[in-house]
Amino acid sequence: MRTQAAVSHGPDTAFTIEDVEISDPRPDEILVRLTATGICHTDLATKAALPTGVPAVFGHEGAGVVESAGADVSGVKPGDRVVLSYNSCGICARCATGRRSYCERFEALNAAGRRPDGSATLTGRDGDEWSSFFGQSSFARHAIATRENVVVPEDADLLTAAPMGCGFQTGAGSVVNVLRPGPDSSLVVFGTGGVGMAAIMAAAALGVGTVVAVGLSPQRLTLAAEVGATHTLDGAVEDVVGRIRDLTSGGATHAFDTTGVPSVVRDAALALAPLGSLALVALGTAEVSVDIRDLIGHGKTIRGTIEGDANPRDLIPRLLDWHTPGTRASPCSSSR
Ligand SMILES: [Zn+2]
Ligand SMILES: [Zn+2]
C-alpha cells in the first residue's frame, strides 16, 4: 500500500516527506493509520548515529486508528483507537514476569531497523528503508505494529496519548514503578524536559510531599512548578546539593536524573539522604564517577531503568486516567 513518511537520509539532512510502500500486515501484525506522534530524544540520537545514505523512518510515540489486523491478532480490531509503545516478544522469561522493557529481544525488536527476520516494513525510492523502529516507525501516515506494542485505551484523545508511548511513560514509570516515593518522601527531578515533567506530574499525582525540580531554563522551572513541583532550583546559579539538603531536612529520599550529565548524576547521588535511591534514564556519557564511600556509608542505591520499567498496557491507560480532570491517582505497580 502507498503511504507517506518523513524520511531521513543521513545525520545532517532534514527529514523529507516522501511516498513509500508499506508492506501488508502479516498474520501477527496490525496496520495502523497514524493520527499523532510524539518526538523523543532517541529519534534524533538514532538519526545522528545512522550513516549517510541509509533511508530511515524513525518515530516511536505513535497513536492512531487500526485499519486492519492479521488473522492471529486478538483483542484489536479495525477502528480501534490505539497508542503504540516499545515492542517486546511477550514470551521470554522477563516478558512473562512483566518486565517487558528488559525483553531478551529488545534490541532486535526495537532498534534493528528491520523486522526480526530481516525484512523491511517500508520501501522507498532507494529500496528498503530502515524501519520498524520500536516496532512502528511512526513518522509516517501508516505503521505496521504488533499485538505486543499496541495499547487500546478507552476513550483516548490520541493527540494527548501519543507521547505516553515512550517519554511520558519513562518519566512517570520511573516514579511509580521504580522509585515509588510516598507522601512523606522527597523527590528531586534533575532536568525539566518531557521525561522530567512526567516524573513531576506523577509525583504530584501520588501526593509526594516534597518535589524539587532542578533545571537550567527559568521558563521550564516555572512550568515545573505549575505541574506539581513544590520547589524549583536553577542548576546554573544555585548550590544544588546544599539547597536540596536544606529543603529536605538533610537529603532527598529519592532522586531522578534525566540529563545523563556526569556532574549532575554525581550531585544527584550526593543529595540523597541515607538509604535514598537514585534512578537514571538518560543515555548520556557512558561513564560517571561517584563517591562510593558516600554510597556504601549511607546505604544509597543507584539503578538504571528502561521505559520506567513500565508495561505499556498497564501504565498508559493509568496515565490517561490521571490526565482526566477529576480523577485521583493511587499508588500502582507494573504487573504484566
Ligand atoms: Zn521478551
Ligand atoms: Zn523514546
β-strands 186-190, 210-215 pairing: parallel
- How much is the pLDDT for 328? 53
Gap from CA of 148 to ligand 1 centroid (Å) = 10
**Range 2-165: architecture per CATH:** Alpha-Beta Complex (3.90)
What's the grid cell of residue 93? 522469561
Q: Is the dihedral of CA 216, 217, 221, 224 positive or negative?
A: negative
Which residue shows C-alpha cell 530502515?
Answer: 130
Domain residue ranges of the chain, discontinuous segments joined by +: 2-165, 167-311
Could you give the CA distance from residue 66 to residue 74 in angstroms, rounded to a whole number? 13
Gap from CA of 292 to ligand 2 centroid (Å) = 31
Ligand lying closest to the C-alpha of residue 100? 1
Can you name the residues that pair with 256 across neighbouring β-strands? 189, 279
- How much is the pLDDT for 150? 97
Helix, strand counts (H, E) of the chain: 11, 15
In the predicted model, residues of the chain with pLDDT beneath 50 are: 331-336
Gap from CA of 149 to ligand 1 centroid (Å) = 12
- How much is the pLDDT for 103? 98
- How much is the pLDDT for 331? 46
Could you give the CA distance from residue 222 to residue 320 in angstroms, rounded to a whole number? 24
Nearest to 135 by CA among 165, 158, 96, 97: 165
Gap from CA of 92 to ligand 1 centroid (Å) = 4
Ligand lying closest to the C-alpha of residue 102? 1
Gap from CA of 64 to ligand 2 centroid (Å) = 18
* Class of domain 167-311 (CATH, top level): alpha beta
What's the grid cell of residue 228? 506539581
Gap from CA of 120 to ligand 1 centroid (Å) = 21
